[in-house]
Every structure is written in C-alpha cells, then in structure tokens.
Structure 1
Amino acid sequence: MGEQGNEWKGMSVKQKLSKIFDNITVEPILACYILPNVIASLATANMNLEKACRVNLNYSQDICDRISVRNITGIEREEEEIQSLVVRMNYWQSILRSSLPALLIMFLGSFSDRTGRRKPFMLLPMSGEFMTSVGLILCTYFFYEWPMEVAGVIEGLFPALTGSWSTMFMAVFSYMGDVTTLEMRTVRLGVVSMFISLALPAGTLVSGVLYQAIGFYGVFATVAVMYVLGMTYGAFRLKEARTPTPLSGPVCGEFFNPKHVKETFRVAFKSREGNLRTRILLVMVLSVTIFGPIYGEQSVGYLFVRRRFKWDEVDFSLYSTYTTIVNLIGTALGISLLTHKLKMEDSMLGAVAYASKVVAAFFYAFASTSFSFYIVTLIEILGGTGMIAMRSIASKLVPSEELGKINSLFGVCEAVVPVLYQPLYSFVYYQTLSTFPGAFFIVGAIMTIPSVLIFLYLYYLQKVDPIGTVEPIPTSEKPKGQYNETFEAMEM
C-alpha cells in the first residue's frame, strides 16, 4: 500500500484523474438509477394529485387549476379531500411495492454469494423502473380514461417484481465489499454514498423545473432513456468482482431453492466468536429503525410542504437540493475528519448522526416559515453519515462470502419497513391534516431514538469484546473485478 501511495503522489493531475476514472465501478449505474428516480418522483406525485382531482373526484377545471398553483383560498376542503385520497392510496401501494422485494431478496443474496454474480441484480431493478416509465407514459396518454389507482399499480408493481431499491443496494454494497479491503471499507463506502448524494441534488434540482418545462410526457420519456443508458453501461462496461461459478442445475431450481433462504437467515442467527451474533442482530434491528422514518417521511413530505408553506414543484426541488448538499457536506466532513483523521468508531459516528436527527425532527414539526424550515437542516448536517456507519459495521462483521446474504437481510428489512412505516405516517398525517400537519415529525423523532441507543450499545460491545471482525483481503487474493486501489493510494 505504501508503494501505491508513493506512485499516487508522483502522478500529474491528469494521470490522477485518468486513474480515478479507470477505477469507477458502480457509480454510473447508481447515477442512472437514482437520478431518474428522483426526477420522476415529483411528476409522479403530481400525476396522482391531478388524477385524484380531475378524474377520481371529478372536480371542475377551475378548482383543479387553482389547486395546481397552490391558490386554495376558499377551496381548502377540496384540497384536503384530494390529499386524503392520495394518502389512502399510499396505504396499499406501499404494501404492493414492498412485499414482493422482501420475498425476492431472501433468494437473491444467497444466489449472488453462491454464484459470484452481482451485476444482474443491479440491472434487474433498472429494468423494472424502465417499465414503470413506459407505463406512466401510457397513463398520461389515457389521462382521463384511467383513474389514479391505475397509475398507483404501475408505480408499485414493476419495481416490486424486479426487486426495487433493496435489490439494487444489496448488489452494489456486496460488490463494494468484494473489491475493497477491510481498513478502507468505511472510506470507500463513504465515496459511494457521496456519489449517491451527488445524484440526489442533481435530480431534485431539475425535477421541478423539468416537470414545468416539458410536462409528464417529457419527464417520463427522459427517465426511460436514462435507465436504458444505465443498463447498457452495466451490461457492457462493469465487470464481475469474481469469476461467476457455473450453476449445478436449472436456474429456477437454483434460485428458488428454499434451503438458501435458511442459509440467508442463518448468517444472522448462527453461533459466532465473541459477541458477533449479538452485534449482527442489533444491526438488523438498526436497519429497521433507520429505514423506517426515511420511508415514512418520504411518503407525506411533499404533501406537507404543499399545505404548510404553499410550495410548488420548483420550491420543493430547491429545498431538496439544499438539504442534500448540506448532508453531502456533512458526510464529507464526517468521513474525512471524524472517521479518517480522528479515527472515530463507526458506531459512535452513527450515534452522533441520529441524535442530531432526533433534535432536528422537533424543530421541523413546529417550523412556521420556509426560512426556519431551511435553517433546521443545518442541525442534522451529519445525518447522512449514520447510514454509512451502519453499512460499514455490517460489512466488517462477516467474511466476503457472506456479504450478499447480510446485504439481503438489509434488503428484507428495507423492503418490509415501508409496509409498517408508510401507512403509519400516512395515517398520522391524515388524522392531523387540519390541526397539526407536522405531527409525523414527532413520530419520526420518537422512532429514531432507538437508533441512537443501538449505536451506543454497539460501541460498548466493540470495546468490551473487539474480537471477530473479518480480516482484510490478502494481496494475493484480491478479486478479479475492478479493485479500487486508487482510493486506497489517495489516502496515503
């Protein structure tokens, strides 16, 4: 590693940039998955609101046009009725979108570990989102013929059948575990997470503007093209980290063998050295308490700011971009300063991150102006580091051949929590819509407190029994994929 560092220091800026680009692996796939997802999200939310008003409730054009521009004086009841209809659809849509991925991911992780195949499970979710985009183009064409529920089924069904976000992140983080050494994993996962964070503001920055400029057709056609570009890159440019193992039988038989589901859960429950099993189980619980509030707030956040601050698509895009940039800065500071320079434990980093989120949630709930809502974001500037800390902890508790399974368990948790949290948040928002719309933030704060406590307990367990983290990959056993030596040399 010292030789790599000396080599890196002797390079010109052009050579360094060339080296970095040569070592890019999953980042373009993530960009072509996350970016169109974010760009389409506002258009999709507005389609549901527009269809609820114009098709399902059959309100007049004047009422729907006024609601579209947030001029709701005198028609507050109609606005509540529209939002209530959309919120009720969120109940069953979250179940549809989450239940199938939760089932699939239990087979995917084990299959990925046994065969060494990560790439297909990055491409599969992208194909589902592409089909969703095509379906939403049809929903636009048949705008007055198809009610809101048809769009809701299309939004949920295709991603559900192809694994959705949980499958994408299972494959990506398993791949990153294959191509990084133990000591560099937190930093490298931080780089990937920062790349994700860059895709988010890029998407949110243009989503509202793009929707107002080119409408439903333009947005859904644009994101469909982006998914095709991502699948093309993944199919022809990305290399598997390990040589795939030949299948011993038919694909369906190998994939859906129930014994492999047992193997996946065995990763969490089997006996291990020291307190490793306890720590793995705690991380599984932690994934629920982390993912839950995220999905819950996403389900009603746009509706909340429309009502509380009278924001339109551009206002929401600008705010989302601002919050993501703040979190990106916080993540960069957290990873470079707290983790790399000060050597702060992952668990303590996570505790700090989620403690800040608890405090911020109370301020969000009572924010009365757009300016105060913006300022509160600074309180949770380190919030983005918590997810990185959790992923890093999990990757260090199991050997490389179990990374797919452990990330599958994360995927199960990530797929299941929307079924629990999104209906809860939607119910709270629905019940408090006319009295205290920000009440769901208080619910989120209460449900985030366990994350802080679990991180602190993981810190304690690591101190009293530091046995059992997996060893770094020896040089002679480095994977055959695109091993990211560049990022390790940069740290020298």
Structure 2
Amino acid sequence: MSFFRTIQVIRIKNLERARGHVSTAQDLLMLFIHQAAHRRDQIAGEQARFEEVTESSRDSRIRSTHGYRQSITSSTSLPGESVGAPDNICREDMMQFRACTLQVGLNATYCETSGRRNPDVQEIVADINVWRQVVDNLFPIIYVLFLGAWSDVYGRKIPILLTMFGYIVRYIGLLLCVYYPNTQATGIALISSLPVSLTGGRTAISMALYAYIADTTSIRDRTFRMGVITAIRTFGKSAGSALGGVLKGQGYGYTFIFSVGAGLDLFAFGYTLFFVRNTRKENVDRSRKLSVIVRDVCNFRNIIDSAKAFLKKREGKGRAQLILLVIILICTMAPMQGEEGSLQLFATSDQIGWNTKDYAYYGTYRMLIAFFGGLVSLGLLVETLKLSDPMLGILSCISQIGGSLVYAFANGTLLMYIAPAVDILNGSMIIASRSMISKIVPRHEMGKVNSFVGTFDSSTPLAGNPIYAAIYRATLDTFPGAFFFLSVGLTFPPLFIFSWFRCNEIIPAPDGPPVKSPQDTDSENNSVGNLRELGLLLKGSSVRFELLFWNVHETSVYEESYWTE
C-alpha cells in the first residue's frame, strides 16, 4: 500500500513539476509576445517620426523651391509688370492738361509747366474724380454678385480673362483720346473707366484671385500666400504707375506709353488664356453648351446663393466674425481708394509744389517701401515670428495711423518721403482680413462669399471718394492735408475689431484637400511636366506679375499636395 502511495506521490509531484514547466513556458511565451508587440510599437513610432521629419524636410524643400521659382519669375517679369499699368499717373496728367487748356482756357505752354497747380484745374479734376470713381465701382457691384457663385462651378479663369479684356479696351480708348486732341478731361475719364468697370475691374479680379488661392492652398499656408499675391499686386500697380510717369518725364509721349501698356496686357491675356490653369468642381459636366454656361451667369439665383452663403449661421461665432471682417475691409478700402484720388492733386498743389516727374519718382519710392513692407510682414512677422492674423492686423492699423498723421502735416518733400516709411505695414490689414475670411468659409463657398464681400468693396468708394474729394476741395486753401484725418478715424474700428479677434479665435471651416484643375491628373506626379511649366514661365517674362504668379503658385501647391495631403 505504501509502495503504490509512494508511486502516486511521485506522479503527482512530476505532474505539478510538468505543470510548472508549462506555466513557465506560457509565461515566457506571453512575455516574448509582449516584448515583440512593444518592439513593434517602438519601430512603428520611430518610423512615423522618421516619416514626419522626412515629410517636413520635403515640405521645406518644396517651399524653398517655390520661393526660388517665385524669385526667378519676379526678376524676369519686372520689366513687363513695371509698364503693365502705366496709365494711372499719365491719365491723370493728361486730364489735368486738357482741363487746363480746353476747360479753363489757358495756353498750352503755361499748362505744361505750371497749369496743373492752378486751383481751377485742381477743382475740375477733383470733381471729375468723384463721378469717375462712381463709374469705376458701380458696375462691378452687379458683376461680382453674378460671377462669384458662377466661378465656384466653372472656375476663376474666365473672370480674370474678362477683366484683362477690359484693360485692353481701356488702353485703346486712351490712344483714341491722344489721337483726338479736343477730347476734354471728362471724356478721358469716361473712356478710361467704363470698359474696365463693365468687365469687373479691381473688384472682380480680387474676387477671382483670392478665391483661387483658397481653392489651391491649405489653411496653414493661406496667410502667407495671400500676402504674397497682395504684395505682388501692390508692387505691380505702383511700379507701372511710377514708370509711366518717369517715361513721361523723360519725353516719351502718351502714344508710346499707352501702346506699350496695351501690348503687354494683350500678351498677358494670351498667356492667361493658354497657359494658366483653371479650377472647377469635379462633378461639373464639361460637355455643357456655351448657351447653358452663359445662362448660368445671368441666373439671379447666383445673387441669392451669395447672400445665403455670407449670412448663414456658422460654427461658433463664424457669422458675426464674417460681418466684422467686412467692416474691416470697408474701413481699409475707404482710405486706400479715397486717398488715391486726391494724393496726386495734393502732391502737385502749392502745399508740396511737385510736378508730374517729381510725383513719378515719389511713386517709385512708395512702391519700393510698400513691397518691402509686404516682405517684412510676410517673412518676419508671419513666417519667422509666427504672428497671428489679428496681431498682424493690429500692427498694420498702428502703422496706418502714424503714416496718415505724417501725410496730414506734410508741407514739403521730407515729410512726404517719411510718411510711406511710417505707413510700411499698411497693406497687411487686407492680408490679415482676407486670410481670416478664407479660414471661416469652406472652399466650395469662397466664390459666393468673396462676391458678396466684393459688393461692399465696390460700394465703399461710392460713398468714401466723394467725401475725400469734398474735404480736399473745402480745405485746399487752408489745410490741404486735412483729408488724411479721415483715414486716421477710419482706422480705429479695424484696430478695435482685430483686438477683439485676439480674444475670440476663429474656428476653421472643415475643408478638403486643395482643388486640382482637370489638367493636373497627368502632370501632378510628372516632374517633366513641372519643368515644362517653369520653362513656360521663364518664356513669358513680360506679363502682369500677378498672373504669372498663379502658374508658379499652382505648380508648387500641387507638388506640396503630392507630398503632404
């Protein structure tokens, strides 16, 4: 009995020992599995960090390449853009000369040398500028309401082309005014304003360009990209006006200057037509007849859709924020447009005593300061210091208030040249507000909202410019710079609103990846296609700067989307 019991005890101990070995093996296996899983997670994390660093490096290289391409395009396009809009100073100069000779009745020799300072001439031109600004901005109000919603479906390219066509017709009209020397200043103003106004003018091209940026960029890069295009447009406009005045001062006639401008605009139109890509909705039937597309333009539903898109309730305080941003744009555009109509008159009055050539050189200086200010606000404040949009707007408001005060008390050349340096960040208000709008509104509504905003953009000069002109006429003999105090007053509301935004952050609208044009399917992953685009850009070096920028911008955006989206 004891023998069998001993055997049983031995079996039990062996079984327990075996179970212990099995349990130990199971524990070891579980430990191994756990360690393997942990190591797998470590490897996955390291791989993710490596890919993040690699992607960041690629992103940096792409942005570097983008900047390099922009610099190439900038340097090669400068001659064309500089004379791409030479009619501003020259048109004003021709209006003053014709008002002096034909409407006041003074002799041509006196009018050529000192007639532009004549108070009667100044008052006539100031009155003309009042209703000319009405013509410039009345039709674009209607135009953008229809084209905004339409461009959300069919793309932004056609509105840009229509506006370019209007500028070409304006140059032809100005050449006819030169050919017929009895055309009075009133006729010159009407002929130069009506074609551009009927095709949308500045308002339409702003709507199309800013919507195009929203179509093709991510929210992260939008402030920088909008700043770049704003700086480029400021640079081009100022450079063209300044060079036009310099050419006039060097003895070149109106015929030569307007012909060069017309030729460059014609080239820009052709370049845009054949080489600038379009963006449109993916589900649009591209086989639609032309009659259907035109009928869609004239659809009154577009106006209703634009108003609904702007006024609809949005997440957080989105709707209230949109309304406040429109108030900022109104208070920004009123001084910008109002001062433009009176600044040249102020500079050529007895207060400053300049002639057209002096003002042309001054325009070149202002252009350089404005462009440098754009680079500072983008490169230093946005990219390096990472300032928010509201903070950028606050600094811009302070800069504009200081610059306007210097302008108001300017009594000679020194203060006139100091004022643009103080006002160096003026344009950043538009950059900040436009960027903030694009972050509140999703891409598929950008055309509608921008068109509705454009109506306020065009309506502002209708009320603001007559007020500026009236103040200038009323204070011409006592304090000619008084109209700059109106600019100071109009800058305080944006200052308070930007400060409010510092405490009420924007909730970005949900957005998909940047929109790609139909032509991008084959060329997006094809480096040869990208090099071909760059080659085309280098060929077309004498086109309006902002239009050249788009092709560079598109290529870089699609490359960036390939790596990061």
Query: Aligned partner of 1:302: which letter?
Result: Q
- In the alignment, the residues of structure 2 paired with residue 410 and residue 2 of structure 1 have an alpha-carbon distance, to the nearest angstrom, of 40
Alignment deviations for residues 314-340 of structure 1 (CA, whole Å, 9 cap, x no partner) = 221222222222222222222222222
Structure 2 matches for 1:121-140, cutoff 5 A? 121-140=159-178
User: Within the alignment, does 1:48 sit opposite 2:95 as a pair?
Assistant: yes
Q: 2:191 aligns with which of 139, 151, 154?
A: 154
1:484 matched residue in structure 2: 556
Letter in 2 for 1:299: G
The SS at the match of 1:123 is: helix
Decide whether aligned partners of structure 1 residues 319 and 453 sit closer, same or farther in structure 2, where only a CA change above 3 A counts: same
The correspondence for 1:355, drawn from 398, 416, 420, is 398
Aligned: 1:336 with 2:375: no
Within-5 A mapping of 1:6-21: 6-7=57-58, 16=65, 20=69
Cα 1:21–1:80 shift into 2, 3 Å: closer
- One of 368, 379, 386 as aligned partner of 1:325: 368
Which of 219, 232, 246 aligns to 1:209? It is 246
Q: Residue 84 of structure 2 corresponds to which residue in structure 1?
A: 36
Segment of structure 1 superposing worse, 346-355 or 186-195: 186-195
CA distance in 2, matches of 1:262, 1:59: 53
Q: 1:483 to 1:275 in 2, by over 3 A?
A: farther
Pair 1:3–1:174, CA change in 2 (3 A): farther
Q: Which amino acid counterpart does residue 272 of structure 1 have in structure 2?
A: R
2:426 is aligned, of 378, 383, 400, to: 383
Equivalent pairs, count: 469
Within-5 A mapping of 1:12-411:
16=65, 20=69, 36-37=84-85, 39-67=86-114, 79-115=118-154, 117-144=155-182, 146-212=183-249, 213-242=251-280, 245-246=284-285, 247=288, 250-307=292-349, 308-411=351-454
Q: CA deviation at 1:191?
A: 2.0
Match among 424, 427, 445 for residue 467 of structure 2: 424
Identify if the C-alpha distance between structure 1 residues 232 and 388 changes in structure 2 by more than 3 Å, giving closer, same or farther. Answer: same
1:449 corresponding residue in structure 2: 492
Q: Unpaired runs of 5+ in structure 2?
A: 1-51, 521-553
Distance 1:201-1:274 versus aligned 2 partners, 3 A rule: same
Residue 296 of structure 1 contacts residue 425 of structure 1 at CA under 8 Å; is this kept in 2?
yes
Amino acid at match of 2:418: I
Q: Which moved more, 1:405-414 or 1:214-223?
A: 405-414
Aligned equivalents of 1:399, 1:238: Cα separation in 2: 23
Q: Relative to structure 2, which stretch is displaced further, 203-212 or 286-295? A: 203-212
Shift in CA distance, 19/367, structure 1 to aligned 2, threshold 3 Å: closer
What one-letter code is carried by the residue in structure 2 that aligns with 1:88?
Answer: D
Task: Give the 3-state SS of the residue equivalent to 1:214 in structure 2.
Answer: coil
Question: Which has the larger displacement, 198-207 or 378-387?
Answer: 198-207
Counterpart CA distance in 2 for 1:280 and 1:8 is 31
Secondary structure, counterpart of 1:317 in structure 2: helix
Q: Is the 8 A contact 2:405 2:485 kept in 1?
A: yes
Secondary structure at the counterpart of residue 36 of structure 1:
coil
Which consecutive unaligned segments of at least 5 residues does structure 1 have? 73-78
Provide the rounded CA distance (Å) in 2 between the counterparts of 1:424 and 1:290. Answer: 15
Structure 2 distance, partners of 1:119, 1:280, is 26
Query: 2:549 maps to which residue?
Result: none
Query: CA RMSD for the aligned pairs?
Result: 2.9
| Greater Cα shift, 332-341 or 168-177 | 332-341
Question: What amino acid does structure 1 have at the position aligned with 2:107?
Answer: S
Residue 197 of structure 1 deviates from its aligned partner by 3.4
- Pick which of 269-278 and 195-204 moved more: 195-204
Q: Larger radius of gyration, structure 1 or 2?
A: 2
- In the aligned structure 2, how far is the partner of 1:31 from the partner of 1:237? 20
Query: What amino acid sits opposite 1:177 in the alignment?
Result: A
Indicate conservation of the 8 Å contact 1:334/1:385, yes or no.
Answer: yes
Q: Partner of 1:240: helix, strand, or coil?
A: coil
